[in-house]
């Protein structure tokens, strides 16, 4: 049994696998958050773009996302809190921490993500860093570089605000 990277302790094929394959749609904002993390962890980055809301997709730098994700070792996801985001809702928030190794340094990304539901599908809109817990390693990221958090935004519009 291949355990799903999202931290659910479920079998990948019974958890996030069907979402990544497109055979099922995440029913909640949290399920979408977990499946997006899993997409980073298993290298299914087209799913990250597919589940990014049109209103903020212009800020998504997929080349930067792919580089960052493929050069990271994904260590785990912890969902801290959810607000709304259930099947009956049209918006939701998910606070999470994920741990990874990038440039040989252990890092923690702590974010409050916003999601909206359009029809029967949830989409990631944006995320706000929490408590400055992202620890970057050298070289320093420039304002116009892709943000190392993986949001796809330029650093100046994301973690370097």
- Say how many Å lie between the first and final Cα of the chain, rounded: 42
Q: pTM here? A: 0.80
A 10 A CB-CB count for 43 gives 12
The answer to whether residue 160 scores a pLDDT higher than 60 is no
Query: What pLDDT, on the 0 to 100 scale, is given for residue 141?
Result: 58
More confident residue, 131 or 103: 103
Q: How many CB atoms lie within 10 A of CB 69?
A: 20
* Long-range CB contacts (within 8 A, 24+) of 3-7: 4/34, 4/38, 5/37, 5/38, 5/41, 5/42, 5/74, 5/76, 5/77, 6/34, 6/35, 6/37, 6/38, 6/77, 7/34, 7/76, 7/77, 7/78, 7/79
Q: How many CB atoms lie within 10 A of CB 108?
A: 14
Of residues 7 and 148, more confidence is placed in 7
Instruction: Check whether 116 has a pLDDT greater than 80.
Output: yes
Share of the chain above pLDDT 70, in %: 82
Please tell me the predicted confidence (pLDDT) of residue 103: 87
pLDDT of residue 34: 98
Q: Is the pLDDT of residue 150 over 90?
A: no
SS3 65: helix
pLDDT, tens digit (0-9, with 9 covering 90-100), for 18-66:
999 999 999 999 999 999 999 999 999 999 999 999 999 998 899 999 9
**pLDDT for res 74:** 95
115 and 97 Cβ atoms separated by less than 8 Å: no
Average pLDDT over residues 62-74: 92
Across the strands, what pairs with 101?
Answer: 73, 106
Residue 133 reports pLDDT greater than 50: no
Cβ atoms 16, 6 nearer than 8 A: yes
Please report which helix (H) or strand (E) contains residue 72, including its range. strand 72-84
Residue 107 has pLDDT above 70, yes or no: yes
């Amino acid at each position: 049994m291949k355990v799903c990277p999202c931290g659910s302790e479920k079998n990948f094929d019974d958890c996030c696998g069907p979402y990544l394959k497109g055979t099922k749609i995440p029913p909640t904002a949290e399920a979408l958050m977990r499946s997006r993390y899993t997409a980073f962890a298993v290298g299914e980055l087209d799913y990250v773009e597919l589940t990014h809301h049109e209103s903020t997709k212009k800020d998504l730098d997929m080349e930067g996302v792919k580089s960052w994700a493929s050069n990271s070792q994904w260590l785990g996801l912890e969902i801290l809190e959810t607000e709304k985001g259930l099947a009956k809702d049209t918006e939701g928030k998910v606070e999470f921490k994920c741990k990874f190794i990038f440039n040989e340094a252990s890092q923690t990304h702590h974010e409050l993500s916003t999601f909206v539901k359009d029809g029967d599908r949830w989409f990631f809109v944006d995320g706000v860093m929490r408590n400055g817990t992202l620890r970057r390693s050298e070289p320093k990221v420039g304002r116009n570089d892709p943000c190392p958090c993986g949001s796809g935004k330029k650093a100046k519009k994301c973690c370097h605000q």
